[in-house]
Amino acid sequence: MPKLFKKKNASEAVVGKWDLSAGDEGFDAEKAQKREKIRHVIKDILVYIFLTVCAVLAFLPFYWMIMSSVKTEMEFRESVPTFFPHTFQWKNYWMVFHQATSATSSSASFGQILINTLVVGILSTLLGLVVIVITAYALARMEFKGKNILFALMLATMMIPGELFTISNYITVAKAQMNNSYTVLILPFLVSVYYIYLLRNNFMQIPNSLYQAAKVDGLSDMGYLIKVMIPLTAPTLISITLLRFIGTWNSYIWPRLVNTQSWQMITNWVTGGFVDRIQPTSPWGDNWTLYGSQYGSSQPLDTLKMAAVCMVSLPLLVLFIFCRKYIMRGVSKSGTKG
């Protein structure tokens, strides 16, 4: 019977054994794994260093604002800036609040400005949510002629600069004589195409089988929207609510353009001139001022402006700290499919 396999001679066996041993010595899995871990550690270190530098640069303006609000005016106006106050002057906040609550005939008090901002912010947010929800539902679930064309035209308006809307809106409200009212601050900004787009994408992620099941149970379109779609899209609605209120709180150009000082918003109040007025009653005695007659009673003090900015920014900072997860979750969920 012929042999199917030939037996290797001694030289071939030695060569094969030598090649195998050479391969084992040329590749060390443990060393390669250690090198890969070192590369990952170095990469993570570089990423965290980069993010730390970016965070410091982003926080630097806020740090400068806070530190400047508790400096003296002399230290603030020095040619060489100081990043840490030599003397903490917390009296600046008392001066700002006293001037804010003591309105003159040419300016509105802090209380009136705060009421304006809260009224406009709450009404604008609630009415805007109603418009956004109904419009997004119609574009996501209802079928009618020209729906896609209408949605495309709405998205096209996002490419138009906001200054053009400001000009056209100002001409409209001026002819309608709606100045110095809450209406002029609320009505032109009820519709937000960006928020409609976010909520429409969120509505389209809801399976159509839920709508069919609701119809079988005899639920109307409005009942389906309120009982099914709104609870399922709560994160997006919460983020839209917060972002709209923050946008109203930060509005500056439009209130200053259409209304007088008594009808303006909180950011317009910050730009007012805070001066070293004589305080007839204060915790530091009668006829008390910060700097006497050094800067005069009509020259604005930059430290008081910085303190006013801190007072206005604090509510938004607290709101963002406690609600940031809802904002991130709602926006990210609206941009994904499935």
Sign of CA dihedral 302, 303, 306, 307: negative
Q: Kindly report the backbone phi and psi dihedral angles of residue 190, in degrees, each rounded to the nearest multiple of 5, phi listed first.
A: -70, -35
At residue 18 the predicted structure's pLDDT band, cuts being 50, 70 and 90, is very low
pLDDT at position 285 over 60: no
Report pLDDT digits (tens) over 94-123.
Answer: 888 777 665 444 466 777 888 889 999 999
> Which three-class secondary structure state does DSSP give residue 275?
strand
Look up the CATH number of domain 92-334.
1.10.3720.10
Contact assessment for residue 136 and residue 284, using Cβ atoms and an 8 Å cutoff: no
Distances (CA, A) of 30 to 18, 22, 173: 22, 17, 75
Sign of CA dihedral 277, 283, 284, 287: positive
Q: Domain spans of the chain?
A: 10-69, 92-334
Helices (H), the chain: 10-26, 29-69, 73-76, 91-101, 110-141, 147-156, 162-176, 183-186, 193-204, 208-216, 221-224, 230-232, 234-249, 253-258, 266-270, 302-334
- Cα torsion for 183, 184, 187, 191, to the nearest 10°? -150
Indicate the DSSP class of residue 6: P
pLDDT at 316: 85
Residues 6+ apart with CB under 8 A from 61: none
At residue 256 the predicted structure's pLDDT band, cuts being 50, 70 and 90, is confident
Report pLDDT digits (tens) over 318-334.
Answer: 888 887 777 776 665 55
Whole-angstrom Cα distance, residue 85 to residue 78?
Answer: 12
Amino acid residing at 25: E
Amino acid residing at 328: M
At residue 21 the predicted structure's pLDDT band, cuts being 50, 70 and 90, is very low
Block residue for tokens 């917390």: 90
pLDDT at position 196 over 90: yes
Contact assessment for residue 65 and residue 310, using Cβ atoms and an 8 Å cutoff: yes
Angle at which helices 91-101 and 302-334 cross, to 10°? 80
Whole-angstrom Cα distance, residue 135 to residue 197?
Answer: 10
Query: pTM of the full predicted structure?
Result: 0.73
At residue 73 the predicted structure's pLDDT band, cuts being 50, 70 and 90, is confident
Whole-angstrom Cα distance, residue 171 to residue 154?
Answer: 22
